[in-house]
Amino acid sequence: MVEERLKFIEEEIRNLQESKLFINIRTIESPVDAWMVVDGKRVLNLCTNNYLGLANHPVLRQAAKDAIDRWGVGPAAVRSIAGTTSLHLELERRLAAFKGVEAALYVQSGFCANQAAIPVLVGKEDCIFSDRLNHASIIDGCRLSGAKILVYEHANPEDAERVIRENIGNYRRGLLVTDGVFSMDGDIAPLDKLYEVAARYGVLTMVDDAHGEGVLGRGGRGIVDHFGLHGKFDIEMGTLSKAFGVVGGVLAGKKLIIDYLRQRARPFLFSSAVTPPDTAACLAAVDLLESSTELVDKMWANASYFKGEMKRLGFDIGQSVTPITPVMLGEVAVAKEFSRRLFEEGVFAMALGFPTVPRGAARIRVMISAMLSRDDLDLSLAAFHKVGKELGVI
């Protein structure tokens, strides 16, 4: 019997179920790798953001184990209060060097990084210019700042310029913030043009490179490197939980800004640090990326093969220019059935529908990674071919 005051929750959950928006989360019973045990079945993984296969990489596993022996398992405090380990500082130095910026701040997650940075840069008297399709963590960071949020059309520098021109005079200062790679479509922000516009009006700039780090740029140095905009974008925010395979967020940029974030960013000041084993594993990931581009190259080769073959089979794979491959299916029901059938065929690829993507634009999002062998890719292509024919999609 649900108590009276909790009845609204019961009702909300029923609404979610009835409108098919209730999320049923599958259970993984193996490390995240090319093949995983999901809900008791061994399936090929086309779902995770483990672009380079680092989440279960032997070098990272070893680094984490060694760090436990040296440092223990927990940070036991907020870094600004009880001190910060040299391990965390070392990671920050290495990330800054990898990305070609003056300084970096390592925080608990990418989500946290957006909450940490945006409210420090702008407040009530300011405004934010935000891409229509920006990630939820950017939107929440913007809301938290109290600044006026002004949305411009997706990846559209002309519209960004219009919104800046019409509004900037009414505020103390402005911040332009955009995803680098948009994770639902795999397209990228025209960062060079956005920078020109922002620079013309003296607007601060920030890019969320969560899906670009370890993916775009030379050896995975990210979207700023991809566009050759070093020293221009004020803040690069990133995550160590996608291509880097571990966990944590990073804010990178000029030393002045990073030093200030250390004084003011609330998730840094009021929440404990990432654990030593995680931090050490991140360091090992940076080592790997700096020592060789092999994994990044393999991921791109896999993406190019898979996307070419999917097009040849007759699938609509949208506008992606990254390893994120949306397989456009239209109605949610079709996408869900497609995903269910793929799972039966031993391929784990999730269906995404409204409200994650617009109505009528439901899709299966395939995340191509360096983990996959040519045989794995051929097996998944065969499954897409079979199910696509069966459901009349191709």
Ligand X SMILES: *Cc1c(COP(=O)(O)O)cnc(C)c1O
Min dist CB 385 to ligand X, Å, is 29
How do beta strands 204-208 and 235-239 pair? parallel
CB neighbour list of residue 244: distance below 8 Å, 6 or more residues apart:
52, 54, 213, 214, 282, 285, 286
Tell me if the bond preceding 267 is cis, omega within 30° of 0: no
User: Phi then psi for 352, rounded to 5 degrees?
Assistant: -125, 130
Min dist CB 139 to ligand X, Å, is 10
How do beta strands 127-131 and 148-152 pair? parallel
* Binds ligand X by CB under 6 A, chosen from 50, 145, 239, 320: 239
Buried b (16+ CB within 10 A) or exposed e, 89-106: eebbebbbebbbbbbbbb
Min dist CB 112 to ligand X, Å, is 7
For 299: left if phi > 0, alpha if psi spans -120 to 50, otherwise beta; the answer is: alpha
- Sole window of 160-168, 204-212, 226-234, 326-334 interacting with ligand X (rule: CB under 6 A): 204-212
Active-site pick, 57, 88, 135, 211 = 211
Residue 249 in contact with ligand X, rule: CB under 6 A: yes
Active-site pick, 137, 183, 241, 369 = 183
Torsion of CA 325, 331, 337, 342, to 10 degrees: -10
**Residues near ligand X (CB under 6 A), total:** 13
Rounded to whole angstroms, the Cα distance separating 206 from 225 reads: 14
Strand ranges for 145-256 from DSSP E: 148-152, 174-179, 204-208, 235-239, 249-253
Residues 188, 236, 184, 287, CA torsion sign: positive
Q: Is 211 assigned a catalytic role?
A: yes
- Sole window of 16-24, 107-115, 154-162, 348-356 interacting with ligand X (rule: CB under 6 A): 107-115
Which residue of the chain is nearest ligand X when measured via CB?
Answer: 110
Contact 241, 233 (CB under 8 A): no
Rounded to whole angstroms, the Cα distance separating 88 from 351 reads: 37
Residue 109 in contact with ligand X, rule: CB under 6 A: yes
Residue 135 in contact with ligand X, rule: CB under 6 A: yes
Residue 339 in contact with ligand X, rule: CB under 6 A: no
Min dist CB 118 to ligand X, Å, is 12
Residue 110 in contact with ligand X, rule: CB under 6 A: yes
Cα 283 versus chain centre, distance: 19
Cα 263 versus chain centre, distance: 26
* Binds ligand X by CB under 6 A, chosen from 84, 137, 178, 380: 137
In eight-state DSSP terms, residue 261 is H
* Binds ligand X by CB under 6 A, chosen from 210, 250, 251, 383: 210
- Sole window of 103-111, 120-128, 330-338, 385-393 interacting with ligand X (rule: CB under 6 A): 103-111
Residue 145 in contact with ligand X, rule: CB under 6 A: no
Residue 208 in contact with ligand X, rule: CB under 6 A: yes
Q: CB count, 10 Å around CB of 154?
A: 16
Rounded to whole angstroms, the Cα distance separating 263 from 269 reads: 8
Which position has the token pair 């939980």? 241
Looking at beta carbons only, is 261 or 334 nearer to ligand X? 261
Min dist CB 194 to ligand X, Å, is 16
Residue 45 in contact with ligand X, rule: CB under 6 A: no
Active-site pick, 99, 242, 307, 336 = 242
- Sole window of 39-47, 87-95, 117-125, 206-214 interacting with ligand X (rule: CB under 6 A): 206-214
Binding mask 258-277 for ligand X (x = CB under 6 A): --------------------
Looking at beta carbons only, is 213 or 225 nearer to ligand X? 213
* Binds ligand X by CB under 6 A, chosen from 92, 131, 161, 179: 179
- Sole window of 4-12, 109-117, 139-147, 371-379 interacting with ligand X (rule: CB under 6 A): 109-117
Looking at beta carbons only, is 249 or 276 nearer to ligand X? 249
For 254: left if phi > 0, alpha if psi spans -120 to 50, otherwise beta; the answer is: beta
Interface of this chain with ligand X, residues 291 to 310, rule: CB under 6 A:
none
- Contacts to ligand X by CB under 6 A: 109-111, 135, 137, 179, 183, 208, 210-211, 239, 241, 249
Catalytic residues: 183, 211, 242
